[in-house]
Amino acid sequence: MAIFRSGEVSQLSDVEIVEQLSKLRLELVRNKGKVGAGGATENPGQIREIRRTIARLLTEESRRKAA
């Protein structure tokens, strides 16, 4: 799992942002499925960090489209 900070996100290309979004969304679905089935993730804060990273990527993507 790759957690990106806003400085790192701005250095990614458009293609890399789309790739990372798809990877992170898939990982988020897996983690939520695991929790929904009664299991627990290795890192309890992982779902939150994935969601925040997805938001950072989406924000950068929309910022680039607006410019």
Residue 44 lies in a domain: yes
Gap between the Cα atoms of 4 and 54, Å rounded: 9
Residue 1 lies in a domain: no
Number of domains in the chain: 1
Residue 33 lies in a domain: yes
CA-to-CA separations, 65 to 17, 32, 40, 54, 60, in angstroms, rounded: 13, 30, 38, 17, 9
Domain that residue 27 falls in: 6-66
pLDDT category at 1 given cuts 50, 70, 90 is low
> Would you say the pTM of this structure is higher than 0.85?
yes
Distance from chain centroid for Cα 13: 15
Q: Could you report the per-residue pLDDT of 7-58, keeping only the tens digit for each?
A: 999 999 999 999 999 999 999 999 999 888 887 777 888 999 999 999 999 9
Q: What is the CATH number of the domain that holds 11?
A: 1.10.287.310
